[in-house]
Amino acid sequence: MIFRNRDFSDRPTALQIKGLSVATVGGRTETQILSSIDVTIRDGETVCLVGESGSGKSVTSLAVMGLLPKGSLEVTGGRIELEGQNLLDLDAGAMREMRARRISMIFQEPMTALNPVMTVGAQIEEVLDSHTRLGAAEKKKRVIDIMEQVHLPDVERIYGSYPHQLSGGQRQRIMIAMALILEPKLLIADEPTTALDVTTQNQVLKLIAELQERHGTAVLFITHDMGVVAEIADTVYVMRHGEIVEHAPVETLLRSPRKVYTRELLAAVPSLIPRAARASRDDAPALDVKGLTKIYDTRGAFKKGRQTRAAENVDFAIGRGRTLGIVGESGSGKSTVARCIMRLIDPTDGEIRVGQADIAKLNRAALQPHRKHIQIVFQDPFRSLNPRWTIGDSLIEGLLNFGQSRDEALKHAGELMELVGLPRDALRRYPHQFSGGQRQRIAIARAIAMRPDILVADEAVSALDVSVQAQVLKLLDDLQEKLGIAILFITHDLRVAAQICDEVVVMQHGRIVEHDTAENVLGRPAHDYTRALIEAAPGRSWDFANFRELATN
Amino acid sequence: MLGYIIRRILAVIPVMAIVAIFVFLLLRLTPGDPAAIIAGDSATPAQLERIRESLGLSEPLHVQLVTWIGQLFQGDLGTSIISNQPVTRLIGQRIWPTLQIGTLTIILSVLIAVPLGVLAAWRHRTWVDYAVMTFSVLGFSIPVFVIGYIFIKIFAIDLRWLPVQGYSAPSENLQAFFLRAILPCLTLATIYVALIARMTRASMLEVLGEDYVRTARAKGVKERIVLFRHALRNAAVPIMTIIGTGFALLISGVVVTESVFNIPGIGRLTVDAILARDYPVIQAMILLTSAIYVFINLLIDISYTFFDPRIRY
């Protein structure tokens, strides 16, 4: 692992946060969100702010931007100095002038961070409209120039495109272009690559580093991904509960963390070393998929139809008690496969055998008795539970559909709660009263309530913090041990796949490019695409949990 | 884009056909003899026979329908029983005041309601917001004629700023037209403003929480531009929809308002026709108002593509 190991101690300070405190306002009680934090960033330096959700990372960045939500959060103390000038002294107009000109920010979700009804060219140009008095031709020239600097292809065409016509990576490049067009002193990047595929993430990280080098920009990079930290950070600040736990140069922090919390955080980072495949329990697979194909016809009223092959000729089988992972980037067809198997969408062709029955072509009524054998856990635990229903009602709905009495079902639900490590009285509460990790446990309990043979987990831990992720993965493992379920695990995260999968299927453009044991796929990849995926995984040569280089075999 | 517009226009045809058939059946399927209904209680048998003849009632129903629709296409909406004038001429004489008042009302309503809604959303949960919402509830719950009389009492009788009622054509005297149009327009606009302001606020509140609004602020864009260029355009589709569907309120409001302010428009024509059971006129009015309603909503459907480049269905 090559760390950046650059020394900035002789460079002038770009941003200095001194004793910054932020608290909630407007509510009945004042809650401290940030408690007197100190951060220093020098010219050209990349400071990573890491921590789990709710640690105050984003609040810190919004406070620097002066964009704390009015009426709910307020700075209660401290200073935020940009080149010696306290930003908290500025009035609204002066602070607005600072944005984009001196401090810029890019956000996590490039899909939603751009205005869908304006061309991206106009959105970049708006920065110039707000802060400069350039002529139309000069403005366009500047915009085209920065778009070339962020390596967008076919700049003239993209200039006039709308966000929905661009890919996620291209949109994030637009965001970066927008942020850097006025060469600000400080760039705040709030999880800018979290929503991107690994290969795209890699390119965007390189781009930020390149532009930082060229313009000498100080970067405050907020992330929860330790792999990214290892790749790009000069200095790391660890946050928890609105406080800075510790800060150190990146290599020092990863090799010899001083605080217990930092050690825990690093220890929770899943390793890229795959588990050894477990022995199959018996010969007949729980789920057997053959030649699964899903083709979408897009037909215009006046145009000829076009076909999109979302999944083509997908074959795999999962034995009882085993886990098969499907990995791939967005658009590779992995979720299409999951939805076909659940029959949430209808496959165009192929077989889906659950036990003895082929469910690929069954109609609604004929499918009904088979539904309970196969259950799904979705990615976003905040949206997959009905907010108006109690946990109990959500949990027993399936059981009632299959003829259990309400009392019986509730008793069963209580047992399930204990099985997934939640108290029984959780049944009477509503989803918003639980954390993300707890909700995902509930979603798992709901899925296994039906005693399924197969559990489909579609990015089931992707929205969770690493420590919670580790717990949920462990829960899945334990349940599999107890109930002998076959798990189909869809993920884009190779680290997670390495932790839980016996076998791994790699998909690209709707096809399987590689299928083998996790050990072979991740340890000795045969296909170029698999290799590219593994190489793009940030921090892959660092063993976070053991604070050292990964032992190479 | 063009395909979308053509498809929207084609979709109007079945809607208007259903309306036309309904209007046709309205008279034919009313219990009793249509000729007797039209002629009224004091008709002589000879008169009845003449009406039967003119309506072609001895023909089978589908032949009557074809004949009737053929006449529609030739612009023949029949003859008023009361005044014995062609219905098209009656409408031609009365439609201008209504169109003028109606157009003015729509413009006025949008100009008042949209900024009010934006303001309420921007100042969410402040007194501004509560004031707009209170107005909205009041405007929506008070009947149109009550509002009309209240306005007359205050502005015409007590303050004497404006005439009590009446109409003056803009081609004759523009100032007199506006002076007489203000109160009817405000009366008619109240319920419409309430509706649009409410929808604007709701739609804006949703959009103001979006990431791209935060992005715009992070760019250092002025708040006015954040609100009107970034947020409002994204909030526009539901607002346009409510302007279209709310148009029905306007049509029923016109009937009442024209009576209150004594304006010789098609609203009054409709009321008179209903009271006199002048079926050909009633039929024509149903057809006309439906056509206007469908046309306005067609325009609004097409306007979606202007507001949102993603709409291409």
Classify domain B93-307 by CATH number: 1.10.3720.10
Give pLDDT tens digits along chain A (553 positions): 788 888 888 899 999 999 999 999 877 788 899 999 999 999 999 999 999 888 999 999 999 999 998 888 999 999 999 999 999 999 999 999 999 999 999 998 888 999 999 999 999 999 999 999 999 999 999 999 999 999 999 999 999 999 999 988 899 999 999 999 999 999 999 999 888 888 889 999 999 999 999 999 999 999 999 999 999 999 999 999 999 999 999 999 999 999 999 999 999 998 888 888 887 766 788 999 999 999 988 665 555 567 888 999 999 999 999 999 999 988 899 999 999 999 999 999 999 999 888 999 999 899 988 998 999 999 888 888 999 999 999 999 999 988 889 999 999 999 999 989 899 989 999 998 888 889 999 999 999 998 999 999 999 888 888 888 888 999 999 999 998 999 999 999 999 999 999 999 999 999 999 999 999 999 899 999 999 999 999 988 899 988 998 876 4
B206–chain A nearest CA distance, Å:
14
- Whole-angstrom distance, CA of residue B125 vs CA of residue A318: 55
Please tell me chain B's helix, strand, coil percentages from 3-state DSSP, rounded to the nearest 5: 80, 0, 20
Secondary element (H or E) of residue A490: strand A486-491
Of all residues in chain B, what percent carry a pLDDT higher than 70? Answer: 98
Each residue's pLDDT tens digit, A228-259: 999 999 999 999 999 999 999 999 999 999 99
What number is the ipTM of this complex? 0.84
Rounded CA-CA distance B56/B63 in Å is 9
pLDDT band at B276 (very low <50, low <70, confident <90, very high): confident
Are B211 and A112 inside 8 Å of each other by CB?
yes
Contact yes or no for A67 and B307 at CB 8 A: no
Range(s) of chain A covered by CATH 3.40.50.300: 1-102+185-268, 287-549
Closest Cα to residue B53, out of B41, B66, B38, B32?
Answer: B38
Cα–Cα distances (Å) from B31 to B34, B43, B49, B65, B66, in that order, read: 8, 18, 18, 18, 22
- pLDDT tops 90 at residue B7: no
Contact B148, B256 (CB under 8 A): yes
What pLDDT, on the 0 to 100 scale, is given for residue A71?
Answer: 81
Between positions 165 and 194 of A, the ones with CB within 8 A of B are 175, 178
Tens-digit pLDDT profile for residues B25-55? 887 777 767 777 777 677 778 877 877 777 7
Cβ distance A116 to B125 less than 8 Å, yes or no, reads no
* Mean of the per-residue pLDDT values of chain B: 88
DSSP A163: G
pLDDT tens-digit map of B172-189? 888 889 989 999 999 999
- A495 neighbors A539 (Cβ within 8 angstroms): no
Rounded CA separation A222/A229 (Å): 9
Out of A96, A107, A117, closest to residue B215 by CB: A107
Phi/psi class of residue A274: alpha, beta or left (left: φ > 0; alpha: ψ in -120 to 50)? beta
For residue B5, give the chain A residue with the closest CA. A301
Query: pLDDT at position B275, please?
Result: 86
| Chain A nearest CA to B41, separation (Å) | 55
Whether A302 sits inside 8 A of B234 (CB atoms) is no
CA distance A441 to A460: 10
Q: Which distant-in-sequence residues (6+ apart) come within 8 Å of B208 by Cβ? A: B121, B122, B124, B231
What interhelical angle do B247-261 and B144-151 show, nearest 10? Answer: 50
Cβ neighbours of A99 in B, within 8 Å: 217-220
Task: Residue A438: name the closest of A422, A423, A427, A425 by CA.
Answer: A422
Contacts with A, B 214-233, CB within 8 Å: 214-222, 225, 229-230, 233
Chain A's closest residue to B305, CA to CA, is A117
Which of A29, A504, A479, A4 has the alpha carbon at shortest distance from A276?
A504
How crowded is residue A332: how many other Cβ atoms within 10 Å of its Cβ? 24
Fold of A287-549: Rossmann fold (3.40.50)
Nearest CA in chain A to B126: A71
The answer to whether B13 contacts chain A (CB < 8 Å) is: no
What is the pLDDT, as a whole number, of residue A190?
93
From residue B49, give the alpha-carbon distance in Å to each of A448, B54, B195: 79, 9, 50
Q: Are strands A454-458 and A374-377 parallel, antiparallel or unpaired?
A: parallel
Which strands sit side by side in the sheet containing A503-508, from one edge to the other? Answer: A374-377, A454-458, A486-491, A323-327, A503-508, A511-517
pLDDT per position as a tens digit, A382-414: 888 999 999 999 999 999 988 889 999 999 999
Give how far Cα B293 sits from Cα of A532, B247, B249, Å.
Answer: 59, 7, 11
Chain A positions touching B216 (Cβ under 8 A) are 115, 126
Tell the residue number behind the tokens 């106009």, with chain if given. Answer: A122
Domain ranges of chain B: 2-73, 93-307
Residue A299 has what pLDDT? 61
Contact call for B212 and A67, based on CB within 8 A: no
Sign of the dihedral defined by the CA atoms of residues B145, B150, B151, B156, in that order: positive
Question: Phi and psi (nearest 5°) for A61?
Answer: -65, -40
Q: Tell me, what's the pLDDT at A282?
A: 66
Strand A503-508 versus strand A323-327 pairing type: parallel
In 3D space, the residue among B250, B140, B144, B128 whose CA is nearest the CA of residue B199 turns out to be: B140
Q: In whole angstroms, what is the distance from residue A225 CA to residue A218 CA? A: 20
The neighbouring-strand residues paired with A315 are none
For residue A116, CA distances in Å to A67, B73, B309 come to 21, 44, 8
Q: Which amino acid is at B282?
A: I
Share of chain B above pLDDT 90, in %: 49
| Contact present, B30 and B37 (Cβ < 8 Å) | yes
Task: Give the pLDDT of residue A162.
Answer: 94
Whether the CB of B75 is below 8 Å from some CB of chain A: the reply is: no
3 state DSSP class of B260? helix
Q: Are the Cβ atoms of B219 and A100 closer than 8 angstroms? A: yes
Phi, psi (deg, nearest 5) at residue B186: -60, -40
Distance from CA of A63 to the nearest CA of B (A): 12
Please answer whether residues A80 and A15 qualify as being in contact, where contact means their C-beta atoms are separated by less than 8 angstroms. yes
Provide the number of CB pairs (under 8 Å) joining chain A to chain B: 76
Q: Please spell the DSSP secondary structure of A404-468, one letter per residue.
A: --HHHHHHHHHHHHHHTT--GGGGGS-GGGS-HHHHHHHHHHHHHHT--SEEEEESTTTTS-HHH
Three-class HEC string of A254-322: HHCCCCHHHHHHHHCCCCCCCCCCCCCCCCCCCEEEEEEEEEEEECCCCCCCEEEEEEEEEEEEECCCC
What pLDDT score was predicted for residue A114?
95
> Taking a C-beta distance cutoff of 8 angstroms, is the pair A176, A207 a contact?
yes
Distance CA A205, CA A193 (A): 8
B15-32 per-position pLDDT tens digit = 999 999 988 888 777 776
The predicted pLDDT at position B278 comes to: 82
CA distance A49 to A268: 17
CATH 3.40.50.1360, applies to A1-102+185-268: no
Residue A552 has a pLDDT of 62
Query: What's the pTM value of the predicted model, to 2 decimals?
Result: 0.85
pLDDT of residue A281: 65
